A and B are shown apart, each in its own frame.
Chain A
Amino acid sequence: MGHPDIAGRRLSKDAYAKNFADLHPPLSAHEALVESDRCYFCYDAPCQQACPTSIDIPMFIRQIGAGNPLGAAETIFEQNILGGMCARVCPTETLCEEACVRETAEGKPVKIGLLQRYATDAQMRTGRQPFQRAPATGKSVAVVGAGPAGLACAHRLAMHGHDVTIFEARKKPGGLNEYGIAAYKSVDGFAQAEVDFVLGIGGITVERGKALGKQITLEGLRKEFDAVFLGMGLQGVNALNSKHEATDGVEDAVDYIAEIRQAKDLGKLKVGRNVLVIGGGMTAIDIAVQSKLLGAEDVTILYRRGAEQMKASGFEQQLAQTKGVKIKHWVSPRKVLAKDGKAIGLECEYTEEKKGKLGGTGETFRLKADMIFKAIGQTFVPDPMKDALVLDGGRIKVDASRRTSLPDVWAGGDCAAGGQDLTVAAVDDGCRAAESIHEFLSA
C-alpha cells in the first residue's frame, strides 16, 4: 500500500456530463400517453395509499391520458407542492410502484414517478403557480429550515393566508434537495427552480444565513411569531468508532455529496482511485455511485449485514452494481490504515448474526483505499433549542399533527421522531403541521 492516489480530472469533460445526466430521462408525450393507458384507475387505489402524501395517482394519470397535463399537475401539487422533486427522488419501488396492482399482476408497475414528472414538468414550464393565497389573516409563522419539510409547510401556510418567514442557516434554500440528493436525480438546477416555484405563491420571506441557536433563538421566535415550525433536518454525523477516524482521506459522505452538488466544474473534485464506503443506506449508495461516476477505479460498499437489511432499496443496490460498484456484506471496519497521516486502507472484520445479535467473527482482512467515506447515518443536533423540547430517540417528539411538546411549536421532516427520512415524508410532515397550525391560528 503506497501513497494515496486522490485526483481530479480523471475523465474527459464529456464523460462528466454524460455520467451526471438525468438518471431516468423524462417521458416523451407519446410515452406518457402509452404509460397512462396502462393505469386501471383503481378504486381506493393501492398506489395512492402507499404515497406518504396521498397523491390522487389514478386521477392525475387519467388527466394525463385525457390530454390535460396541467390539470394532472394541479392534482399532484394539491397534495405535494414538491411533487416535481418527489417524482425524481422518491424510491417509488418501495412506495407507490411497489403497491401498483400491475406490479402484483405482471411485475411491471405503471411508471408513476415518471408520469408525475411529466405532469409537474409541464406546469413548471408555464412558470405559473396553480394556487392562489387566501385573503391575508394577519397571523405570522416562523419556519426554521428551508428543506422539503419547511418549504411544504410554508407553502401551505401561505395558501391559507398567513405570513411566513423562513430562517435558513445556509446560503441557498432547498435543504438536502439542494445539497444532498444525488446529482443525477436532480439535474439542471431543478432544486432552485422548484424553490422559486414554491415561493411563487407569495407571502413567504426567506432569511438566508440565519441559524437557530446563532442569529435567532426559539424563545425569540415564539415571542415574535404566532407559531413556529422546525424543519432543520439532521446536522450531526454518526461516529465510526474506529481508530484514526480523523485521518486525512476519511470523509463524511454527506459533506462530499454537498460539494458534488455545488461544484461548477466536476473535474475539480478530487476522488480516490480506490474508494471504500461504509454504510448501507441511500447515502452510501449515492456516494459510491457518484465516486464511480467521478472516475474512481474501484468502489466498494462495506455493510455490516446482508442485502435484505440494507436500507437502500433493491433498486438502489442494483443501480450501484450496474454502475460498477461492489457491495460487500457482513463486514465491519476495525481500523483505518494510515501512512504519514493519510488513509491508505482499512482493516475489516467479518460479521455474523448469532441469536439476533451482530458480532465479529474474529477473522479480519485489509482493503486498499485512497478515500474512505462514512455513510453510517446522520443524527439530530438538539443544541439550538437548548432543552426546550421533549425528544424521542434523539429527535424531536411530535404527535400525529406534528406538534411538539410546546403548544405553539411544530416540527417535521428528518428532525422529528418517527419519520421515514425521505423527501416525500418531509413534505407530508410539513403539510400536516401547516394544517394543524392553521387550525390553531383560526381558533
Chain B
Amino acid sequence: MADLRTNFVGIKSPNPFWLASAPPTDKEYNVVRAFKAGWGGVVWKTLGEDPHVVNVNGPRYGAIHSGDRRLLGLNNIELITDRPLQTNLDEIKRVKREWSDRAMVVSLMVPCEETNWANILKRVEETDCDGVELNFGCPHGMSERGMGSAVGQVPEYIEMVARWCKANTRMPVIVKLTPNITDIRKPARAAKQGGADAVSLINTINSIMSINLDSFAPEPTIDGKGTHGGYCGPAVKPIALSMVSEIARDKETQGMPISGIGGITNWRDALEFILIGAGTAQVCTAAMTYGFKIVQEMTSGLEQWMDERGFSHLDELIGKAVPNVTDWQYLNLNYIAKAHIDQDKCIQCGRCYAACEDTSHQAISNAPKNGKRHFEVIDEECVACNLCVEVCPVESCITMVQMTKGTDPRTGRKIDKKYANWTTHPNNPAAKVAAE
C-alpha cells in the first residue's frame, strides 16, 4: 500500500492534503471536524493583530455554476480572522496537543513593521504549532490597508518580511503568494532571498463574479454596492498549475519546497500539483462546497493510483512532470500530427466543422456520404490545432495522430524525425545559424 506520509520543510503530516487558510480552518470546531474526517493538516485562518477586523454582514460569496449548478468558481470578500487573537491562539494550542500527528501551520498578516511580526511570532510559537504561513495574498480589503496582496505585489517587501520572520522565529516560514502579479517568479525569488523555507500558491484572484442586470451592481451586492473579491475553485486550477510550474523550473527557485493551492477538488487535481512540483496540496473551495468528507476520496484515489503504478512514496512523484515543462521556443516544430475522426464514435453533430470552418483552418469536410451527414478531416488543411478535439462532445472521438513517416500533405514536406525548434527556424530573424 502506498505511503502518503509527508514531510514538508520538517512539517510532518499523514497525507499531503491540507486545508488552506480560510473559513474551513477558522476555529477549533471546524479543524477538529476536519481532522476527524482525515485531513493531513491545516493552515489556520489568517491571524492579525487586535482589535480584530470585522466582516461584512451581507453576502461575501459569489459563484459561477454549470448548467446543473455544479460550482465551478467561487469568489469572496471575506477578510482575515474576525476573532480576537488570543482566542485563536488558545484553540490552536489545544488542537495541536490533541492532534499531534497532523500538520498545524498558522497563517499571519500584520502591518509591515518588524516589531509587529516579531511580536505575533512570539505568541504563535507558544502554541507549539509546526510553522507559519505569511499571507501576502488577499486581494481585497486587507490590501487597501497596505497588507495582503499589497505586500505580495512588491518583491522587496516580501524579502524584507520573510527575513524579519526568519530572524524572529525557529519555526519554518512559508510565504503565500498572490497570483495578482505579472511574473510569479519575482515574489518567489524574493521569498527565497529573504530566507523563507517554502512558498505556497495561489491565493485568490481579483474578480467580479457578475453584474446584476436589474440593480446595475456587481455581485455579490451589499446594499446596492459591490467590490472585487478573490476568485478560487476549479476554474483557477490551470492558472495555479502554471504559476507553480514557473517557480519549480526557475533556476533561482528550483528545489524550493512548494505547497500547491488553487482549485484542487479531487485526488487527480492534487496529484497534478504534486507532479508539477508541490510537496503538499492545500484545499479550500472544494471543502467549502462539499464538506470535509471529500478528503477520503482524495486519499483513496491517490493510494489506488500509486498502487496501480507501483509508486510507494510521494517523494518519487514530487516534480516528476517539471522537466517536461519548457518554453514555446523549444517545442519540436518537426512534430507533425493530424486530427482523426473515429466514424464509429461520431454522432454527426457538426460542432467540429463549425469550429474549424469558421474559426480555424477549414480542415473538416461536410460532404454527405451515402445520403447521410458525414464529417471528415482534410489532412491537406489540418494544422493539428486540437480545437475540434476540444469542442467534440464525444470523448476520444477525435484524436490527434502523429505522422511518423511520409510527407505532410499540408506542406508537402517530408516528415523529419529530427528535433528542430524555433531557435533555429529559418523564419526566425534571431535564429542562431548552426556553426558550420
Q: How far is the CA of A30 from the CA of B304 in the complex (A)?
A: 21
- Partner among A37, A58, A68 whose Cβ is within 8 Å of the Cβ of B267: A68
A69-92: CB near B (< 8 Å → 1, else 0) gives 011001100000000000000000
> Could you say which residues of chain A place their CB within 8 Å of the CB of B305?
68
Shortest B131–chain A CB gap in Å is 29
Known contacts: A59-B296, A62-B266, A68-B267. The answer to whether A38 contacts B68 by CB under 8 A is: yes
B319-357: CB near A (< 8 Å → 1, else 0) gives 000000000000000000000000000000000000000
Interface presence of A63 (CB below 8 A): yes
The reply to whether A71 and B70 form a contact with Cβ atoms under 8 Å apart is: no
The reply to whether B304 and A62 form a contact with Cβ atoms under 8 Å apart is: no
Q: How far is the CA of A75 from the CA of B297 in the complex (A)?
A: 10
Known contacts: A30-B395, A43-B291, A62-B294. The answer to whether A68 contacts B70 by CB under 8 A is: no
Interface presence of B254 (CB below 8 A): no
The reply to whether A66 and B301 form a contact with Cβ atoms under 8 Å apart is: yes
Interface presence of A67 (CB below 8 A): yes
Interface presence of A41 (CB below 8 A): yes
Known contacts: A68-B297, A71-B304, A75-B300. The answer to whether A41 contacts B266 by CB under 8 A is: no
> Could you say which residues of chain B place their CB within 8 Å of the CB of A66?
266-268, 297, 301
Among residues of B, the one whose C-beta sits closest to the C-beta of A68 is B301
Shortest B415–chain A CB gap in Å is 33
Shortest A52–chain B CB gap in Å is 22
Q: How far is the CA of A43 from the CA of B70 in the complex (A)?
A: 16
Main secondary structure of the interface of B (DSSP, over half): helix
Shortest B237–chain A CB gap in Å is 14
> Could you say which residues of chain A place their CB within 8 Å of the CB of B266?
62, 65-66
Among residues of B, the one whose C-beta sits closest to the C-beta of A63 is B297
Among residues of A, the one whose C-beta sits closest to the C-beta of B298 is A66
Q: How far is the CA of A70 from the CA of B304 in the complex (A)?
A: 8
The reply to whether B300 and A68 form a contact with Cβ atoms under 8 Å apart is: yes
Which of B290, B294, B297 has the most chain A CB atoms closer than 10 A to its own CB?
Answer: B297
Known contacts: A62-B294, A66-B266. The answer to whether A71 contacts B300 by CB under 8 A is: yes
Interface presence of B293 (CB below 8 A): yes
Interface size on A, residues (CB 8 A): 18
> Could you say which residues of chain A place their CB within 8 Å of the CB of B294?
41, 62
B277-309: CB near A (< 8 Å → 1, else 0) gives 000000000000011011011001101110010
- Partner among A30, A37, A67, A75 whose Cβ is within 8 Å of the Cβ of B70: A37
Q: How far is the CA of A68 from the CA of B305 in the complex (A)?
A: 8
Q: How far is the CA of A239 from the CA of B59 in the complex (A)?
A: 68
Shortest B277–chain A CB gap in Å is 22
Q: How far is the CA of A41 from the CA of B301 in the complex (A)?
A: 16
Q: How far is the CA of A43 from the CA of B289 in the complex (A)?
A: 11
Q: How far is the CA of A103 from the CA of B394 in the complex (A)?
A: 27
Q: How far is the CA of A62 from the CA of B268 in the complex (A)?
A: 12
B153-195: CB near A (< 8 Å → 1, else 0) gives 0000000000000000000000000000000000000000000
Shortest B194–chain A CB gap in Å is 38
Among residues of B, the one whose C-beta sits closest to the C-beta of A30 is B395
Among residues of B, the one whose C-beta sits closest to the C-beta of A60 is B297
Known contacts: A66-B267, A66-B268. The answer to whether A41 contacts B290 by CB under 8 A is: yes
> Could you say which residues of chain A place their CB within 8 Å of the CB of B300?
63, 68, 71, 74-75
The reply to whether B297 and A62 form a contact with Cβ atoms under 8 Å apart is: yes
Known contacts: A59-B293, A59-B296, A66-B267. The answer to whether A71 contacts B301 by CB under 8 A is: yes
Q: How far is the CA of A62 from the CA of B70 in the complex (A)?
A: 13
> Could you say which residues of chain A place their CB within 8 Å of the CB of B297?
59, 62-63, 66, 68, 71
Which of A41, A66, A75 has the most chain B CB atoms closer than 10 A to its own CB?
Answer: A66
> Could you say which residues of chain B place their CB within 8 Å of the CB of A68?
267, 297, 300-301, 304-305
B424-435: CB near A (< 8 Å → 1, else 0) gives 000000000000
Q: How far is the CA of A430 from the CA of B87 in the complex (A)?
A: 50
> Could you say which residues of chain A place their CB within 8 Å of the CB of B70?
37
Shortest A38–chain B CB gap in Å is 7
Shortest A103–chain B CB gap in Å is 16
Among residues of A, the one whose C-beta sits closest to the C-beta of B396 is A30
Among residues of A, the one whose C-beta sits closest to the C-beta of B300 is A71
> Could you say which residues of chain B place their CB within 8 Å of the CB of A74?
300
Among residues of A, the one whose C-beta sits closest to the C-beta of B265 is A66
Q: How far is the CA of A343 from the CA of B293 in the complex (A)?
A: 61
Shortest B396–chain A CB gap in Å is 9
The reply to whether A67 and B268 form a contact with Cβ atoms under 8 Å apart is: yes
A201-241: CB near B (< 8 Å → 1, else 0) gives 00000000000000000000000000000000000000000
A residues 8-53 touching B (CB-CB < 8 Å) = 29-30, 37-38, 41, 43
Q: How far is the CA of A70 from the CA of B303 in the complex (A)?
A: 11
Shortest A57–chain B CB gap in Å is 12
Among residues of A, the one whose C-beta sits closest to the C-beta of B66 is A37
Which of A30, A43, A62, A74 has the most chain B CB atoms closer than 10 A to its own CB?
Answer: A62
B residues 351-369 touching A (CB-CB < 8 Å) = none
Shortest B148–chain A CB gap in Å is 32
> Could you say which residues of chain A place their CB within 8 Å of the CB of B267?
66, 68
Which of B293, B300, B394 has the most chain A CB atoms closer than 10 A to its own CB?
Answer: B300
Among residues of A, the one whose C-beta sits closest to the C-beta of B394 is A30
Q: How far is the CA of A54 from the CA of B387 in the complex (A)?
A: 45
Q: How far is the CA of A37 from the CA of B291 in the complex (A)?
A: 17
Q: How far is the CA of A299 from the CA of B165 in the complex (A)?
A: 84
Q: How far is the CA of A58 from the CA of B294 in the complex (A)?
A: 10
Nearest 6 pairs of A and B residues by beta carbon: A66-B266, A71-B300, A68-B301, A71-B304, A41-B290, A62-B297
Give me 16 other A-B pairs in contact (C-beta within 8 A), A38-B68, A63-B300 excluded. Answer: A30-B394, A30-B395, A41-B290, A41-B291, A41-B293, A59-B293, A62-B266, A62-B294, A66-B266, A66-B297, A67-B268, A68-B267, A70-B304, A70-B308, A71-B301, A75-B300
Give residues in B with beta carbon < 8 Å to A. 68, 70, 266-268, 290-291, 293-294, 296-297, 300-301, 303-305, 308, 394-395
A-B pairs with beta carbons under 8 Å apart, 26 shown: A29-B395, A37-B70, A41-B291, A59-B293, A59-B296, A62-B266, A62-B290, A63-B300, A63-B301, A65-B266, A66-B297, A67-B301, A68-B267, A68-B297, A68-B300, A68-B301, A68-B304, A68-B305, A70-B304, A70-B308, A71-B297, A71-B300, A71-B303, A71-B304, A74-B300, A75-B300
